[in-house]
A and B are shown apart, each in its own frame.
Chain A
Amino acid sequence: MPQTTIYVAPRLAGTLGTIPPAVATVELARLFGRSAALAGISLTVEMGRTVALLGPNGAGKTTLLRILATAIRPSYGLLSIDGIDALREPELVRGRVVYLSHATGHYDDLTAEENLRFAATMFGWGQHEGADVCREALETVGLSDVAAARAVTFSAGMRKRLALARVLIARPSLLLLDEPHAALDGEGMVLVDRLLGLWKEAGVTVMVASHQAERVAGMADATVRLEGGLLAEVTGAGVSAGPVGASQRPRVAVAGMDR
């Protein structure tokens, strides 16, 4: 098994030396037109926890992860990541959060290695150390042999592996994974499971959205279930919720939204 180094962002101390939560949201909502993808989520996640985010299609899992990643702004609500106000200082948050989305974000005309070296520069690695971390990451995800092949020639599973390699060379404090097992073969799924274990050991907070409830919930400290843009159920350690369920609906209904 290849050696895998896990890089982690330095921890931040909160006021009076307390440890701020990795994620704290208050009534987080996001509207797309007249439809509310998220209808008011209040959630606190302790640092270093692995959280399984479950729910049916359209429950709001991806929207929640994209807001936490600062890819989109919420329509209402408050959000802090590691104690940083993510709405006021998204650029600070981006140095601590890494998001693996459905879209892998690769450039088709660049090789796997070129894609990863580009990402390494963007994550702040220097030329030589960047080459080393990229080589190790490609080995970990099993793409060393095709490092010189263009991404356009890759299958969906290989693209996902390359995206995982990009996550490996980042230095996250909070890792947001949207369906990390999707498109992967059995070996790839085992790889994701192994990485989830390594990130947990290293103290990285991980939120995993998945339809593979059993697979993900087995290794998670807590499970958060979303339904219709609302928190439906929160179980396990290290995660606490605000008001759950129907009590949050009127806030959005007043605004004339669908949900």
Chain B
Amino acid sequence: MSDLRRGLAVALAIARKDAVAELRGRQAAGSTLFFAALVLLLFGFALGPDAQRLADAAPGLLWLAIVFGGLLTVARLHQLETDDGAFEQLALYPVDRRAIYAGKALAGGAAMLVLGALLVPVVAILYAIPIGAAWLPLLVAVVLGAIGFAAIGTAYAGLTVRMRAREVMLPLLMLPIVAPLLLAAVKATAAALSGDPLGELGSWLQLLVAFDVIMLVVGVGTYGFLLED
């Protein structure tokens, strides 16, 4: 088996294992979705019933909910590895550690995509925003944002999973790093929802692609070291 095929098989096995554990994991995935939707609802209450204000804030609130839910998601995918020493066992398998990262990031990205895809209609309903015509660019923005967030989130979750205060340390370390990604994702989403009158959607999406590449390179390059005790 070539190195690439073996790496792919390992990454897919890890992602599949995480997906199965996540789906069986005592409703944790459902709780995350519920939490993110609740964030959107509370922001709606905080901003008041002004429809225009809600529409203006919707892209930012959507991504804040995705980021909050995403933090829980990437943390939980690593929390699985703390079951009975599984993380150490994972690090001792004779596999390329970039493949382990790829598998964890793939699982995180897929979970983030599902989260984003489910939160978009929640935003549309709560804030009364028509998304019919904007669904394709919106989908692209969510996909690119989810990839970048999962890419760096996986690395940071690997860094913090052995820390005692990991629940606090993960957002503390990660949120400043994802701020540029968040900005680009919000701008792209706003452009998509408004029909892109200024023709800026393409630029923001390109910036998202650039961030994704950087985050993936950083994740691939650092994750192997994080597995060392």
Contacts and interface: CB of A to CB of B under 8 A. Distances in A.
A249 interface: no
DSSP majority for the B interface?
helix
Contact of B85 (A69, A72, A94, A101): A101
Interface string B128-150: 00000000000000000000000
Interface stretch (B46-54, B87-95, B111-119, B202-210): B87-95
Given A72-B229, A159-B84, A107 B9 contact: no
Given A71-B229, A72-B229, A126-B1, A107 B94 contact: no
A76 B6 CA distance: 34
Nearest to A97: B92
B88 A109 contact: no
A118 B12 CA distance: 10
B24 interface: yes
Contacts, number: 76
Interface in B91-121: 91-97
Interface residues of A, number: 30
A88 to B, nearest CB: 14
Interface residues of B, number: 27
Contacts of A245: none
Interface string B1-34: 1000010011001000100110011000000000
A106 B84 CA distance: 6
A73 B227 CA distance: 12
Given A71-B88, A110-B20, A124 B1 contact: yes
A74 B91 CA distance: 17
Interface in B184-229: 228-229
A107 B94 CA distance: 19
26 contacts: A71-B88, A73-B228, A91-B94, A94-B93, A94-B94, A101-B85, A103-B84, A105-B85, A106-B83, A107-B83, A108-B21, A108-B84, A109-B20, A109-B25, A114-B20, A118-B17, A119-B93, A121-B9, A121-B10, A121-B13, A122-B90, A122-B95, A123-B93, A124-B1, A126-B1, A150-B24
